[in-house]
Every structure is written in structure tokens, then in C-alpha cells.
Amino acid sequence: MLRLLQLELQKLLLNRASKVLIFISFILPFFVIILSSIRINFFGFFVLELGHYGIFNFPIVWHITTFFASQFKFFFAIVVVSMIGNEYSNKTIKQNLIDGLSKKEFILSKFYTIVFFSAVATIIIFLICLCIGLYYSSIDQFNLIFRETEFLLAYFLKLVGFFSLCLFLGMLVKRSAFALGSLFILYILEWIVFWGAYKVFDNAESAFKVKQFLPLESMYKLIDQPIQRIVMSKMPDKSEIAYDFAVHWYELVIVMGWTALFIFLSYRLLKKRDL
């Protein structure tokens, strides 16, 4: 495993564009710290200071930070599809196989890289959440500080699942731009499925239940948007906006299932394709 990971990291770090994108992917989550310290004076009428509204306290900070940090995943998605696009355009995929790398090892090297960068990103988010939470929150009990850290697991699986999808699309179309464009097409197809389910069941709730099994939606549902939760915490009487924001085991299983399928399909494509 380490040999395959090292081989892939060498390829990425020798590519200037990949190095820049990887750097940006790891730097952008730190903007959450900047967001927490923003202080805006609205012409003397009132001062907006997000950090003092309690939205970065424990345990809600785990939810808010992982949700917003996951929006930056598209930068590393470009790296993932470029990994495949460059292999085909530079003919290095054929050379690797000639040099003794099996097709299974080739796919595993990509997958190990995805897991590695997802793990590094998760560790960074963990440290950011811990620092922000300890600074703004008055909570000092260990069990309360680390309550809801399951959002970190959801964040990790969300990255691994999304990048595995990008890997499959890169293998399918062989071109980085087309692979990224395929994500948009898949997004539209999922809404078409939702509309079809709505026509069948004549119920939006049932249609969303169908949609939650689809790749992009299942990954999105791992970490639900925290806006309503913030409003609920500030206005407890607003019971009509209550919703289930927890991370559920079946949501994790769905994403892990799609991840395994995308890696398997990538391997099958490579195995059957004439290089």
C-alpha cells in the first residue's frame, strides 16, 4: 500500500498544477477561522460578529465547519480527474503497466491517494474545529467537547465517496474537462429521477427518499445544512423549522456502497479497455 501511495504522490508533486491545487484544497478550510473572526460594523447601528453568536461553540462547531469545508472539495476533484486525464494523455498508464504495475494496483494507487488526502483534510478540519471551539466556547467537559464528532467521519466518507466518483468519471471519459462536466450531467439526472419519483408517488417527501439513494444526493445528505439548526438554537420557539440533522448509519452505508461500486467499476473499465 505504501509503495503504491508513494508512487502516486511522486507523480502529483512533480506536476506544478497539481501541487497548486492540492495546496489550495488544504488552505481553503482555514477560511472558516477567518469567518469566525469577522467583525462588521453596520454604520454604527449594530456590529455583526459571528464568533460571539454561539455558532462556533461546541458541539455545533463540528457540524458547521464540516459542512462549509466540504464545499471546497471541488479543488481536489480537479486533481483526481487530472490524475487520470494525464495518465492517458501522457501515455504513462501504459508505461506503468509495462513496468510491472498490475491494473488492480494502478486503481488501488489512485484510491489510496484519495483516502490519504481525505484523511489529511479531515485531520485539518478536526484541528480547526478544536481551536475555534476552545476559543469561543465555555464548555470544558471532555464528553461535551467531542460530542457530535461523527460529523468528521461523515466528512471523511463524503470526500472519499465524491473523489471515487470523480475517479470513475475520469476513467470513463479519459478527459478532465469532460469528467467534471459529467458531474453536472449527473446532478441533472438525479433531479430528473426525483421528478419521476414525484410523478409516481405524488409526494415530495417520498421523492426525496428515492433521491437520497443516488450518488451526489447521498453524499450531500451525510452533512445536512446547518442554517436551520442555527436558527433553532437562537429561536427555540420556531418549532416549525425543526429537522433531523444527525448523521445516520444508513447514510454512511449508502455512501460506502457507492464508493466501493465506483472503485470496482473503475477497475473493470481499465481491465476491459484496450490501452
What is the crossing angle of helices 60-69 and 103-136, to 10°? 130
Other residues' Cβ atoms within 10 Å of the Cβ of residue 40: 9
Contact 139, 54 (CB under 8 A): no
CA distance 189 to 209: 16
pLDDT of residue 35: 67
Per the listing, cell 498508464 goes with: 93
Contact 90, 14 (CB under 8 A): no
DSSP 256: H
Per the listing, cell 465524491 goes with: 162
CA distance 275 to 90: 12
Q: How confident is the prediction along the chain (275 residues), in pLDDT tens digits per residue? A: 788 888 888 888 877 888 888 888 888 888 776 666 665 555 555 445 566 666 788 888 999 899 988 988 888 888 888 888 777 777 777 777 777 788 899 899 999 999 999 999 999 999 999 988 888 877 778 888 899 999 999 999 999 999 999 999 999 987 777 888 899 999 999 999 999 999 999 888 899 999 999 999 999 999 998 888 777 766 666 555 667 788 999 999 999 999 999 999 999 998 887 65
One-letter amino acid at 246 equals A
Helix (H/G/I), strand (E/B), else coil: 222: coil
Other residues' Cβ atoms within 10 Å of the Cβ of residue 155: 26
Instruction: Name the E strands within the chain.
Output: 39-42, 46-49
CA distance 64 to 228: 11
CA distance 52 to 133: 12
Contact 182, 77 (CB under 8 A): no
Domain ranges for the chain: 2-272
- The phi, psi pair for 273, rounded to 5°, reads -80, 140
Contact 61, 129 (CB under 8 A): yes
pLDDT of residue 46: 47
